[in-house]
A and B are shown apart, each in its own frame.
Chain A
Amino acid sequence: MVDAPYAIELTGMVKRFPTSDGGVYTAVSGIDLAVPAGRFVSVVGPTGCGKSTLLNAAAGLAPPSEGSVRIFGEPLEGLNKRASYMFQQDALLPWRTVLDNVTLGPRMKGVGRAEREQRGREWLERVGLGPFAGAYPHQLSGGMRRRVAVAQSWIVDPDFIFMDEPFSALDVQTRQLMEDQLLRLWTGSGKTVVFVTHDLDEAISLADEVVLLSAGPASRIVGTYPIDLPRPRDLMDIRTTPAFQDLYRAIWSDLRSEVMKSYERRALAVSNG
C-alpha cells in the first residue's frame, strides 16, 4: 500500500499561454500535487489563478508546458480516458434530447441502443429527471441542465470526476441540493474527485482536502489543508459546527491575502492599461 501510485501526480507543472498581443502568459508554475485514489479534493483560489488549468492538465485537454502529469503512475498521453469532466459552462448538445445527452458517453463507446437507453433512464431517475428524457436542453432550467451534466459524467463510470465550478451559476438552494446529491453519489464510489471552486464554504464542506492556489499569474500552491470533518456529512448543518469554522478561518486567512494580491494586480493592470 505504501508504494501504491497516486491517482494524480502533477510534478513541476508549468503552463504558459500565448496572449493575443504576442506575449506569453504564465498561468501556473511549479505545481506539485499528488492526489491519492478515492480522494475528494477541492481546489480554491482567487479568480483567474489557473484552477481550471490544473484540471485541464489532469484531464489531458491542455498538456502542461513543463513538468509531468501521471495518472496512476503512468505518464498521461493525450486525453485522460478514465476521467469525466463537468464544465463550468453548459456542455450539453443543444440538438440532442436529455436522454441522448446522458447516453452520449456510452454511445461513443459503442454501447448498443437498448442497453444505453436503459442505463440512461436509470441515471435520469437517479438525478430526478425521469420525466424529461425527451426534452431538449433549452427546455430545462439551469439546475436541471446541471443534473443532466452530472448524469452524463457519471454514467460512464469513470475513475476520475473533474468538476470546474460546476454549480457556480446556480442559486443557493439548488446548489446545496446538488452538492448533497454529489456527495451521495460519490460516497462509496471510490472515485477520485477534483472539484474546482472559488467558494471556500463549498470546498470545505465537500472535500477531504482543500488545495489553495495563489493569485495569478504564475500561480502556485500556497497550501493543502486536510479536512477531517466526519462523513457522511450533513451539508445543512456542517457549516455551523465549530470544527468547520476553525478550518474556514484558517484557510480563509491565507485565501484572503491571495485575493487581495489578485485585486491589487488587477487594479494595477487596469491603471497601466
Chain B
Amino acid sequence: MSDALSRSRTAEPALDDAEARPVDVAPDAAVGPDAATGPDAGPVRRRRRRISPLVLFLQVAVAVAFVGGWELLSRIDVLDPFFFSSPSAVAERVWTWLTTGEIYDDLLITLQEAFYGLVIGAVLGLVVGFALARMRLLAAVLDPYVKALNAIPRVVLAPIFLLWFGLGIWSKVAFAVTLVFFIVFFNTYQGVREVDRVLVDNSRMLGASESQLIRHVFLPSALSWIFSSLHVSVGFAIVGAVVGEYLGSASGIGYVIAQAEGTFDTTGVFAGIVVLSVFVIVVDLLVNRVERHLLRWRPEPSHAEVV
C-alpha cells in the first residue's frame, strides 16, 4: 500500500495528449432535446439488490448444517463439550447474558472504544493524508517513516499503550487508532493524488480558490475513497478495541472472552465470539446505510452482485 508514497508522478501531464487519450464517454443514441425533456425520460434509476430465494435457501442450509452438525457431534461425544462446547449451551449463555443484561455494559464499552478509535484515527488519517498529498516534499521525507510505522505489528504496542494510557478505555482507543489511521491515511492520500486533473482545471477555470478546490473537489474525491474503505476501518476499529481488551482490561467483550478463557469456559468464549460477530454485522449494516447515503452520486455497478 505504502508504495503509493514513493510512486511520485513523473512530471505533470507529460504531453499534450488530450487527443491521444481514448474517450470513454458512451455515445448516446437518441438524445435530442425532446428525448431529454420528456418527463418519463427520467434516467434516475434506483436498483435494489435482491437476494434470490435459492441463494437465501442455501445460505440458511449452510447455517443449519453447520450448527446442527456441531450440536450433533458434541451430543454423541465425538466433539468433547469441554473443548468445543455446543450450540445449545452457547445459545443458552448468550440468552442469559442478554436477559440479565450483564453483557450490555461490556458491549457499550467496546462500542465506545471502537467509536473513539474510528473517529480519532479517521480524522488524523484525513488530515495527514491531505497534508502529504498536497506537499510533495513532506511526503518524500516522511515516506520511509510511514512505511516503518505501518510495518509494526500492532500487538507489540499493547504493553506500551497500557503503560501510557492505563487499563481504561484509552489504551484500547489508541490501539484502534493505530489500525484505522493507516487505512484512512492511505486512502486519503490516494484519493487526493488521483483526483482527475480535468476536474481540478475546470473548477479553477470557473474561479475556484485553493480552499474551494479542497472543499469541492479534493475532499469529496478523497471521501469516496475513504468511504469505500469504511467497512475495513470499522472492522479494524472493533478489532483494535477487542484485542486491546483481551490483552489487559477490566471490561469489554474482549475482557469477557479473556475471562472465560482463563477459566476454561469454552461456552463463554464461543458466546463472546457470537455476540461480537452479531455486533459487527449490525454495525456493518449501519455503515452500509451511511455509505449509500453519502455516495449516492455514484453510479451503481451495472451488474448487481448476487449477495
Chain B 181-215 near chain A by CB (<8 Å), digits 1 or 0: 00000000000000010110111111111001000
Chain B 13-35 near chain A by CB (<8 Å), digits 1 or 0: 11111111101011111111100
Considering the complex, which residues of chain A in the window 161-192 have a beta carbon less than 8 Å from any beta carbon of chain B?
Answer: 164-165, 168-171, 173-174, 177
Given A87-B201, A108-B209, A131-B39, does the pair A52, B18 have CB atoms closer than 8 Å?
A: yes
In the complex, A53 Cα to B207 Cα: how many Å? 21
> Which of A88, A147, A152 lies in contact with B23, CB distance below 8 A?
A88
Contact (Cβ within 8 A) B205 A52:
no
Contact (Cβ within 8 A) A79 B18:
no
- Report A-chain residues with C-beta under 8 Å of the C-beta of B16: 15, 17, 27, 48, 50, 52-53, 56, 216
Let me know if B262 is at the binding interface, CB within 8 A: no
Let me know if A142 is at the binding interface, CB within 8 A: yes
> Which of A61, A89, A136, A139 lies in contact with B205, CB distance below 8 A?
A61
Let me know if A130 is at the binding interface, CB within 8 A: yes
Contact (Cβ within 8 A) B220 A93:
yes
- Report B-chain residues with C-beta under 8 Å of the C-beta of A142: 25-28, 31
Interface of B is mostly: loop
In the complex, A157 Cα to B255 Cα: how many Å? 65
A84 shortest CB reach to chain B, Å: 6
B297 shortest CB reach to chain A, Å: 4
Most chain B CB inside 10 Å of its own CB: which residue of A18, A95, A164: A95
Contact (Cβ within 8 A) B44 A139:
yes
Contact (Cβ within 8 A) A129 B15:
no
B292 shortest CB reach to chain A, Å: 14
Contact (Cβ within 8 A) A136 B14:
no
> Which of A50, A94, A108, A165 lies in contact with B206, CB distance below 8 A?
A108
Given A53-B16, A177-B33, does the pair A171, B28 have CB atoms closer than 8 Å?
A: yes
A87 shortest CB reach to chain B, Å: 5
Let me know if A25 is at the binding interface, CB within 8 A: yes
A269 shortest CB reach to chain B, Å: 12
Chain A 39-56 near chain B by CB (<8 Å), digits 1 or 0: 000000001101111001
Chain A 55-99 near chain B by CB (<8 Å), digits 1 or 0: 010010100000000000000000101011101111101111100
Chain A 118-139 near chain B by CB (<8 Å), digits 1 or 0: 0000000000111110011111
Chain A 177-218 near chain B by CB (<8 Å), digits 1 or 0: 100000000000000000000100000000000000000100
Considering the complex, which residues of chain B in the window 1-53 have a beta carbon less than 8 Å from any beta carbon of chain A?
Answer: 10-11, 13-21, 23, 25-33, 36-37, 39, 42-45
21 contacts between A and B (CB under 8 A): A17-B15, A19-B15, A25-B14, A47-B19, A48-B15, A53-B16, A83-B205, A84-B205, A87-B202, A88-B18, A91-B199, A91-B201, A97-B297, A109-B207, A130-B37, A131-B42, A139-B44, A144-B36, A152-B206, A164-B18, A177-B32
